[in-house]
A and B are shown apart, each in its own frame.
Chain A
Amino acid sequence: MSNGIKANKIDDYTWEIPKTGGMRVPGRVYADESLFASVARDNCLQQVVNVAHLQGIVRYSMAMPDAHWGYGFPIGGVAGTDIAEGGVISPGGVGYDINCGCRVLATGLTHDEVKDKIGKIVNALYSDVPCGVGSSGAISKLSVGELKKLLREGAAWAVKRGYGKEADLECTEERGAMESADPDALSERALERGRNQVGTLGSGNHFLEVGVVERVFDPEVARVFGLEEGRITVMIHSGSRGLGYQVCDDSLKVMQRAVEKYHLRIPDRQLACAPVQSPEGQQYLAAMSAAANYAWANRQVMMALVARALERALGAGPKDLNVRLVYDVCHNIAKLEKHDVERERKTLCVHRKGATRSFPPGHPDVPERYKNVGQPVLVPGDMGTGSYVCVGTREALENTFGSACHGAGRMMSRSKAIKRGKGRSIDRELEKQGVIVKARQRKTLAEEMPDAYKNVDAVVDVMHAAKICRKVVRIQPLGVVKG
């Protein structure tokens, strides 16, 4: 094995790294042969091993099939720590972009109705949803007081101001606001960064994607989710912007000192952490939750802007479009959740970094309207390929603390992608494949080219085969807006 890390194949989709040295639990990687080779090449296995050293970690240090190297935790990493056993919380297990996540909107539009209008729709989204570098929000700069309200209320803050409706909150993870949020846990710097970025998309791998449901795998669940073959969807992928990054940055300094204070032995300084029950742990949890709420408010605002842009592009009213939120998930977060570990009910701090919650039917946190079928699990792919809506499973709860992959996962560096993109017109290539792309910078297009990502179909196939989430529909992209 590369890096000298031994991993045993458990079955066609599961690999185990035996507990050695300072590891408190084994590692577990969900991948087929090809995806595993990619994970191993990327030095990701070392990170899985490192995470297994965390105080209080239980069961496994996990990696999803789209895993790739990150700060401390791999992106696509999942770990739960037992708070009663001094279990830690680690900002590296959440990521800089706290609550980077996505939401999927269903519409009443059919592909036939809009297939000649995708360019018009993409242009409208590009101009009406602030995106890209250096842009400020659709909402003018908030006072600090108003921002703090937003940080407490999350998506509900946006609803109160006319962005979307109350019913949207039911279809949002945590109803769009974590109660553990405390705006006073944020630095002045973080608050300052958040004041004028509300409702902005951001750049890099953030995007808006107009697509069509091109294949239905589970008609019953699709019907419950409100997804129908041939109907148009919109996906919004974005996070907590500068405020979230600042919270992460502020916390890293505190956590470096906490590691010494609590005599925590960590193999990588990027895994700096503190016991959840410590003042440092509590402060990070409170600040992280506030940043998460910011991202939910953001996606709620952008959803309304998307709906208005569609209306404008198509000369239609809200009733004609029938835009409805299917679900909103976060994929960079740490949450306190109750899970059964060795037949004991424990409160764990579950880190999902580049991983999505995947809860089964009947779970209390699944919205009422989806309780019979399970939680929607949204898996965006790269620009050209496709995205999936899946559904959560009991097996996920039993094996991965209810966690699944989050998307395609990068496998090529940005500089390599740019080199490979030289002389190529990525947007024209995608247009030939039937996808219209509009990006603020050409560089973003090259960096985000499909070749730079793992194959989302392969990633989802692994999750489906391992029963971590089940395929419901596949969405074919038609138009993409990137910052």
Chain B
Amino acid sequence: MSVKDHEKTLPDKPGGECHTIEHTADIGLRCRAPSLSSLFECAARAMFELIVPLDSVEPAESVPVVLKAASVEELFVTWLEELLYIWESKRILLSRFEVSKISSESLEAEVKGESYDAGRHDLQSEIKAATYHGLQIERVGDGWEVQVIFDV
């Protein structure tokens, strides 16, 4: 396989960046991305990075996600909560997030990961919930920015 072919088979990077923010009892994220869909993908990735080093999680299984909400803030929290639920109840760690359709009130996505393996997956934190506290999603310049606090 030539280098060029290999590059083509890699999934698109989310095209955003996130960093953690200080908080007394919990942990927060601030993310910036060029589009709403990449913002959601970026935040999901950053959240799971808090749970487990993502380079240890193979995208072996695919789970479809279809959500509706009353506002973009609710959609965002519901998205993260859905991913946490997939992890908690199905014991699937997620490392790839692809939002194919998004509006301020609904989204469709495909997320990929694999079943938890205690031998390979070094769990870092338990994220109990994504909260509404200080939740802000806004257009900034050409892109989008979000701030969210997790209950840990």
Q: Are B124 and A443 in contact (CB under 8 A)?
A: yes
CB-contact partner of B25 in A68, A193, A246, A257, under 8 A = A68
Interface residue stretch chosen among A108-116, A248-256, A377-385: A248-256
Interface residue stretch chosen among B2-10, B57-65, B126-134: B126-134
Interface string of A203-225 (1 = CB under 8 A from B): 11000000000000000000000
CB distance from B91 to the nearest CB of A (A): 7
Whether, in the assembled complex, A96 has its beta carbon less than 8 Å from a beta carbon of chain B, the answer is yes
CB-contact partner of A483 in B85, B91, B126, under 8 A = B126
Whether, in the assembled complex, B152 has its beta carbon less than 8 Å from a beta carbon of chain A, the answer is yes
Q: Are B88 and A413 in contact (CB under 8 A)?
A: no
Q: Are A133 and B22 in contact (CB under 8 A)?
A: no
List residues of chain B with CB within 8 A of the CB of A189.
Answer: 85
A202 to B88, CA, bound (A): 12
Q: Are B116 and A68 in contact (CB under 8 A)?
A: no
Given contacts A192-B89, A270-B132, A415-B20, contact A202 B126 (CB under 8 A): yes
Q: Are A416 and B132 in contact (CB under 8 A)?
A: no
Q: Are B27 and A203 in contact (CB under 8 A)?
A: no
Q: CB-nearest residue of chain B relative to A452? A: B24
CB distance from A263 to the nearest CB of B (A): 18
Q: Are B125 and A441 in contact (CB under 8 A)?
A: yes
Q: Which 5 A-B pairs have CB atoms at the shortest separation, nearest pair first?
A: A133-B123, A203-B126, A133-B126, A413-B22, A245-B129
List residues of chain B with CB within 8 A of the CB of A248.
Answer: 129
Q: Are A415 and B89 in contact (CB under 8 A)?
A: no
Given contacts A71-B133, A133-B123, A204-B126, contact A414 B27 (CB under 8 A): yes
Interface string of B26-63 (1 = CB under 8 A from A): 11000000000000000000000001000000000000
CB distance from A444 to the nearest CB of B (A): 8
Q: Are A415 and B24 in contact (CB under 8 A)?
A: no
Q: Are B24 and A204 in contact (CB under 8 A)?
A: no
Q: In which size bucket is the chain A interface?
A: 35 or more
Q: Are A410 and B25 in contact (CB under 8 A)?
A: yes
Whether, in the assembled complex, A427 has its beta carbon less than 8 Å from a beta carbon of chain B, the answer is no
CB distance from A48 to the nearest CB of B (A): 15
Whether, in the assembled complex, A145 has its beta carbon less than 8 Å from a beta carbon of chain B, the answer is no
CB-contact partner of A441 in B27, B77, B124, under 8 A = B124
Whether, in the assembled complex, A4 has its beta carbon less than 8 Å from a beta carbon of chain B, the answer is no
CB distance from A315 to the nearest CB of B (A): 29
List residues of chain B with CB within 8 A of the CB of A192.
Answer: 85, 89
Whether, in the assembled complex, B74 has its beta carbon less than 8 Å from a beta carbon of chain A, the answer is yes
Q: Are B123 and A193 in contact (CB under 8 A)?
A: no
**What are 5 A-B residue pairs whose CB atoms fall within 8 Å in the complex?**
A96-B131, A192-B89, A204-B126, A245-B129, A249-B77
CB-contact partner of A96 in B22, B124, B128, under 8 A = B128
Q: Are B91 and A134 in contact (CB under 8 A)?
A: yes
CB distance from A380 to the nearest CB of B (A): 15
* A 241-277 contacts with B by CB, 8 A: 242, 245-246, 248-249, 252-253, 256-257, 269-270
Interface-centre pick from A71, A189, A410, A443 (highest chain B CB count, 10 A): A71
Given contacts A204-B128, A248-B129, A413-B24, contact A193 B89 (CB under 8 A): yes
Question: How many residues of chain B are within 8 Å of chain A by beta carbon?
Answer: 29
List residues of chain B with CB within 8 A of the CB of A193.
Answer: 85, 88-89
List residues of chain B with CB within 8 A of the CB of A122.
Answer: none
Whether, in the assembled complex, A388 has its beta carbon less than 8 Å from a beta carbon of chain B, the answer is no
List residues of chain B with CB within 8 A of the CB of A134.
Answer: 91, 116, 118, 123, 126
Q: Are B24 and A69 in contact (CB under 8 A)?
A: yes
Whether, in the assembled complex, A228 has its beta carbon less than 8 Å from a beta carbon of chain B, the answer is no
List residues of chain B with CB within 8 A of the CB of A269.
Answer: 132
List residues of chain A with CB within 8 A of the CB of B128.
Answer: 96-97, 204, 242, 245
Q: CB-nearest residue of chain B relative to A244? A: B128
Given contacts A97-B128, A443-B124, contact A415 B88 (CB under 8 A): no
A256 to B70, CA, bound (A): 11
Q: A245-B128, A413-B24, A443-B124 are in contact. List 12 more A-B contacts (CB 8 A).
A: A69-B25, A71-B132, A133-B125, A133-B126, A189-B85, A204-B126, A204-B152, A249-B129, A257-B70, A413-B22, A413-B23, A443-B125
Whether, in the assembled complex, B114 has its beta carbon less than 8 Å from a beta carbon of chain A, the answer is no
List residues of chain B with CB within 8 A of the CB of A203.
Answer: 125-126
Interface string of A98-136 (1 = CB under 8 A from B): 000000000000000000000000000000000011100
